[in-house]
Structure 1
């Protein structure tokens, strides 16, 4: 009898996301044990328990998935799991806390695609302002955009100090060079987006961060993208189904949450399938997610 495909699902939170469990099952994993409230120190023990019990043939059908809501901790957990491997007992590991790695990758890939398609350019040298930038998706989208040459500003409703703190923490962990700007109040938001080429809405669901009047001050705007699928739209004028739709009174185009979400879903599915079928262990994080998001968009 063939050994089953097992994906050990680890989270520092109280429960594993049902979304991720469903995605793993649809990718072909047969057993999906979950481990909650796992600390960074606990990753090594869990990893070695998972690998030593199956033998060299069994580890080929074993994987680890790291969830939670902390994008920095998830990256540390992935590193800890990788360091815990003992050859030939080595398995694949994927991290995607709150779906942020795959969502951020889809968001950035969609923006990059529209910049090229509509404006004949890319993210290099563009000023990118991320509203809700201190959250899970905003931080990783910022890292990816900055790696592609953008000047990234994380904006926070908590003010410039909160925004800079999020930028500094993320920069230290991922070697990026983002800065923080205030999103506390209409005047601060308008000041931050006035010279933006790209605006990303990654704030909480159901919160509008930019009104039509706010957007009007962004005279350099080329692309506005929003991951909020709950009314009202996070960026006024950007519908959830929009995929490169021209914004009223602007040369900018909008990308909505469901257009981004469709790419995110395909990215997570493909990464899980890749991990399950890998002949050699793979370690999957947001750089790999961006590569797959580009593949998805190239097929459309």
Structure 2
């Protein structure tokens, strides 16, 4: 009898996301078991329960998925699970809290592809502002853009103190340079986008954070990506279906939530399948998600 493919899903929250459960089932995992209210301190013991209960052949058909809503905590949980394992007792690991890792990867990879198509160069030296940057998607998008060579600022509608705290905390955790800027009022918003090349809009759904006039006044702007799928658009002029579509009154291209969402879906599915099919232990975080999103977008049909 063949051993089943078992995916253990750990979350610090009160419930595991149905989205992630469906994605795992579609990727081929046969037994999917959620564990809720899991503390960081419990990850080591749960991981060792997982690895010691199967032979090496069975471990090749075993995985751990880490969810939740906190991008930094998920990274810590992923590292704790990795450290709890040793050869030959290893299983594949993946973290994607609230889809933040795959969404941020899809967003940043989509913008990079647009910059390359538009100007032949990616993020190196670009000025980037992340609106709604204190949330999980915004923080990871900021890290990925910074790692790709951009000068990145995190903006918060709660003002400069909240933005600075998120920037410093995230920069310290992931070893990148980030700064905070205020998005607390219209004047602060206009100042934060005045000279940027890229806007990554990760603000709350259904809230327009940048008006058409403000977009038009951002003279250096080249690409705007918006993950808000609920009307109105987070950035005026960026339709949810936009895929490198010109933004009226500007020289910038827009990438909308559904275009990003398609790349996010493909990225998460490919990562879950990699865990399922690799046959060797995988450790998959946002860096791996970014590489998969880049590879997906490099395919001719994805352009």
Relative to the length of structure 2, the TM-score reads: 0.98
Check the 8 A contact 1:105/1:144 in 2, yes or no.
yes
Cα deviation for residue 118 of structure 1 reads 1.8
Match of residue 155 from structure 2: 155
* Whole-angstrom distance in 2 between the partners of 1:147 and 1:57: 37
**Structure 2 counterparts to residues 40-59 of structure 1, below 5 A:** 40-59=40-59
Cα deviation for residue 280 of structure 1 reads 1.4
Cα deviation for residue 56 of structure 1 reads 1.6
**Structure 2 counterparts to residues 62-77 of structure 1, below 5 A:** 62-77=62-77
Check the 8 A contact 2:197/2:220 in 1, yes or no.
yes
The answer to whether structure 1 residue 117 and structure 2 residue 114 are counterparts is no
Cα deviation for residue 119 of structure 1 reads 2.5
Check the 8 A contact 1:102/1:267 in 2, yes or no.
yes
Summarize deviations over 1:17-49 as a string: whole Å, max 9, x none: 000000000000001110000000000111111
Match of residue 37 from structure 1: 37
* Whole-angstrom distance in 2 between the partners of 1:253 and 1:60: 44
Match of residue 94 from structure 1: 94
Cα deviation for residue 121 of structure 1 reads 2.3
Check the 8 A contact 2:61/2:279 in 1, yes or no.
no
Check the 8 A contact 2:215/2:250 in 1, yes or no.
no
* Whole-angstrom distance in 2 between the partners of 1:203 and 1:209: 7
* Whole-angstrom distance in 2 between the partners of 1:224 and 1:110: 10
Cα deviation for residue 296 of structure 1 reads 0.7
* Whole-angstrom distance in 2 between the partners of 1:70 and 1:13: 10
Single out whichever of 143-152 and 79-88 deviates more from structure 2: 79-88
SS in 2 for 1:268: helix
Check the 8 A contact 1:60/1:91 in 2, yes or no.
yes
Match of residue 200 from structure 1: 200
Structure 2: 5+ residue runs without aligned partners? Answer: none
* Whole-angstrom distance in 2 between the partners of 1:282 and 1:244: 33
* Whole-angstrom distance in 2 between the partners of 1:119 and 1:271: 30
SS in 2 for 1:33: strand
Cα deviation for residue 193 of structure 1 reads 0.3
Check the 8 A contact 1:128/1:199 in 2, yes or no.
yes
The aligned length equals 300
Cα deviation for residue 116 of structure 1 reads 1.1
Summarize deviations over 1:223-274 as a string: whole Å, max 9, x none: 0110000111000000000001111111100000000000000000000000
Match of residue 254 from structure 2: 254
* Whole-angstrom distance in 2 between the partners of 1:167 and 1:183: 14
Cα deviation for residue 86 of structure 1 reads 3.1
Structure 1: 5+ residue runs without aligned partners? Answer: none
Check the 8 A contact 1:119/1:222 in 2, yes or no.
no
**Structure 2 counterparts to residues 1-300 of structure 1, below 5 A:** 1-299=1-299, 300=302
Cα deviation for residue 57 of structure 1 reads 1.4
- 4+ residue runs of structure 1 moved beyond 4 angstroms? none
Relative to the length of structure 1, the TM-score reads: 0.99
Check the 8 A contact 2:105/2:264 in 1, yes or no.
yes
SS in 2 for 1:230: coil
* Whole-angstrom distance in 2 between the partners of 1:86 and 1:132: 39
Tell me how large the CA RMSD over aligned residues is. Answer: 0.7
